[in-house]
Chain A
Amino acid sequence: MTNRFSFGNGAALLQRLGSVIGLLLLLIALSVLSPDFLNAGNLLTVLRQVSINALIAFGMTFVILAGGIDLSVGAILAFTGAITAGVMASGHGMLLAIGAGLGLGLLLGVINGVLVSWGRVAPFIATLGTMTLLRGLTLSYTQGQPIGVSNNSFALLGDGYIAHLIPNPVVWMFGVFLLCAFLLRGTVFGRHVFALGGNEEAARLSGVRINAMKLGVYGLSGLLSAFAGIVLTSRLYSAQATAGSGYELDAIAAVVLGGTSLAGGRGWLFGTLVGALLIGFLNNGLNLLGVSSFYQQVVKGAVILIAVLLDRRK
Chain B
Amino acid sequence: MRGIRKAFGPVKVLEGVDFELLPGEVHALMGENGAGKSTLMKVLTGVHKADAGEIEVDGQTVSMGSTTDAEKHGIAIIHQELNLIPHLSVTENLFLGRELNTLGLLHRRAMRQRAREWLAHVGMQSIDPDLPVARFSIGQQQMIEIAKALGQNARVLIMDEPTAALSERETDTLFALIRELRSKGTGIVYVSHRMEEIFVLCDRISVLRDGHFVGSRPIPGLSLDEVVQMMVGRSLEARFPTREVTPGEILLKVEQLGDKHVHDISFDLRAGEVLGVAGLMGAGRTELARLLFGLDKATHGRVLLDGQPIHTRTPVQAIHAGLGFVTEDRKAQGLVLDLSLRENISLPRVPSRAGIIDRATEKRQTQGLVEQLKIRTRDMELPVRALSGGNQQKVVLAKWLALKPRVLILDEPTRGVDVGGKAEIYQIINQLVKNGVAILMISSELPEVLAMSDRILVMHEGHATALLDAATATQETVMLAATGGH
Residues in chain A within 8 A of chain B (CB atoms): 3, 8-9, 12, 186-189, 191, 194-195, 198-199, 201-209, 265-266
Contact = CB atoms under 8 A, between A and B. Distances in A.
A208 B350 CA distance: 11
Contacts of B357: 186-188, 191
Report the 10 A-B pairs with minimum CB-CB distance, sorted nearest first: A8-B381, A198-B336, A207-B319, A199-B336, A206-B347, A206-B348, A188-B350, A198-B338, A207-B348, A207-B316
Given A202-B336, A204-B315, A191 B381 contact: no
B350 A199 contact: no
Nearest to B400: A206
Given A3-B381, A199-B336, A199-B337, A194 B319 contact: no
Interface in B320-349: 320, 325, 327, 332-340, 343, 346-349
B307 interface: no
Main secondary structure on A side of the interface with B:
helix
A186 B325 contact: no
A23 to B, nearest CB: 25
Contacts of A266: 338
A206 B335 CA distance: 9
Contacts of B348: 206-207
B332 A201 contact: yes
B352 A201 contact: no
A314 to B, nearest CB: 14
Given A9-B379, A186-B357, A189-B355, A205 B334 contact: yes
Interface in B126-144: none
A9 B381 contact: yes
A178 to B, nearest CB: 14
Contacts of A198: 336-339
Given A202-B334, A205-B295, A205-B315, A195 B381 contact: no
A8 B380 CA distance: 9
A208 B359 CA distance: 19
B88 interface: no
B356 interface: yes
A8 B399 CA distance: 20
B315 A207 contact: yes
Given A188-B356, A191-B350, 20 more contacts: A187-B352, A188-B350, A189-B355, A194-B338, A195-B336, A195-B339, A198-B336, A198-B339, A199-B332, A199-B333, A199-B336, A199-B337, A201-B332, A202-B334, A202-B335, A203-B347, A204-B315, A205-B293, A208-B347, A265-B336
Contacts of A187: 352, 355-357
B382 interface: yes
A111 B330 CA distance: 33
B180 to A, nearest CB: 39
